[in-house]
Structure formats: structure tokens, C-alpha cells
């Protein structure tokens, strides 16, 4: 299986069977994101207790990449500390938006292992393949930006 096929498989799976696709009545942090370029809409719900993201969910509609990314984002940050969620946000955004990624050899077809080489991102690395499709990058980062603004504009966030 080529890397692009692997990307597609994971993204299609999350797109068809989104995880954590539900409203969260007891959310402590909520934010909405909209990507006018594609028409994607994502509403992110977070329940934060102390400095841990106890639960994460979303509602949304839009293209498969935006919905798959939201699904993967909620899975990635659930149970993480706020600091870790922030780190994932920054790593993901950088990986998706940075064309020149350090250390990655583009002279040969990447292997399956390469996809999971970046341990800080794990399966999220699958979505970094969208950096080859600039018009889809906003689709992929939408849910992450919504999560980020939910945490930073929420009433219970501290900067400590």
C-alpha cells in the first residue's frame, strides 16, 4: 500500500465513520469554525476539568477531509492535558502548513513506517499529506483552530 493510499484509507474511514460526532451538553468550552473556501463548518465541544481535556466532540458538515480531521482531532486530544493538546495543535498545524519538512526524504516513495515516524503526531501524520494539496489545508486545520480558540477564549482557561 502506498503512503497516499494509506492516507486516503484513514481519512475515508474517519470521514465515513466520524468519532465523537455528537453534541456535548456539559461542555466547558465550545467554538465554531468556518472555512469559506470549501464551505466546511465545525463546532467543537470540550469538557475540561483541571488541566485535562476529559471529553471532546464535534458537530459539522463539509468535505471528507474537514470531517475526518475533526474526528481525528477529538480522538487525539481526549484525555490529554491542555499543554499536550496545545502541543498537538502546534505540531499538526506546522506539519500541515510547512512545505519544507526537515528530515523527510522526498526523493523516494515514503514507506508505511515513514507515515508513523513522527511519534508526536502518530496517526495524525496521515493528514499531513494534505500539504501537497494547498487548497485542502484549510479543511484539515479547521477543527484544530476551532479547538484552539475554544480553549483560549473559554472562560476557564489559564495561561499558567
Among residues 8, 63, 97, 118, the one that binds Zn ion under rule CB under 5 A: 63
Query: Closest separation between CB of residue 105 and Zn ion, Å?
Result: 29
Q: Which three cell numbers stand for residue 55?
A: 471529553
Q: Is 64 in the site for Zn ion (CB under 5 A)?
A: no
Nearest residue to 70 (alpha-carbon basis) of 97, 91, 43, 90: 43
| Site residues (CB under 5 A) for Zn ion, limited to 1-40 | 38, 40
| Site residues (CB under 5 A) for Zn ion, limited to 66-95 | 66
Instruction: Using the rule CB under 5 A, give the single segment among 1-9, 79-87, 122-130, 137-145 that binds Zn ion.
Output: 137-145
* One-character DSSP codes across 72-128: HHHHHHTT-BHHHHHHHHHHHHHHHH-SS-TT--TTSPPPHHHHT--TTTGGGGGGG
Site residues (vs Zn ion, CB under 5 A): 38, 40, 62-63, 66, 139
Amino acid at each position: 500500500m502506498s503512503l497516499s493510499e494509506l492516507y486516503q484509507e484513514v481519512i475515508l474511514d474517519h470521514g465515513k465513520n466520524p468519532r465523537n460526532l455528537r453534541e456535548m451538553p456539559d461542555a466547558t468550552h465550545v467554538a465554531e469554525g468556518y472555512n469559506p473556501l470549501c464551505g466546511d463548518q465545525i463546532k467543537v465541544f470540550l469538557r475540561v476539568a483541571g488541566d485535562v481535556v476529559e471529553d471532546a466532540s464535534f458537530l459539522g458538515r463539509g468535505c471528507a477531509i474537514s470531517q475526518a480531521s475533526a474526528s481525528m482531532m477529538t480522538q487525539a486530544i481526549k484525555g490529554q492535558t491542555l499543554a499536550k493538546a496545545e502541543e498537538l495543535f502546534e505540531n499538526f498545524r506546522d506539519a500541515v502548513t510547512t512545505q519544507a519538512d526537515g528530515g523527510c526524504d522526498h526523493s523516494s516513495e515514503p514507506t508505511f513506517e515513514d507515515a508513523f515516524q513522527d511519534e508526536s503526531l502518530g496517526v495524525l501524520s496521515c493528514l499531513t499529506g494534505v500539504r501537497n494539496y494547498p487548497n485542502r489545508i484549510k479543511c484539515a486545520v479547521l477543527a484544530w483552530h476551532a479547538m484552539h480558540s475554544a480553549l483560549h477564549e473559554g472562560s476557564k482557561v489559564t495561561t499558567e
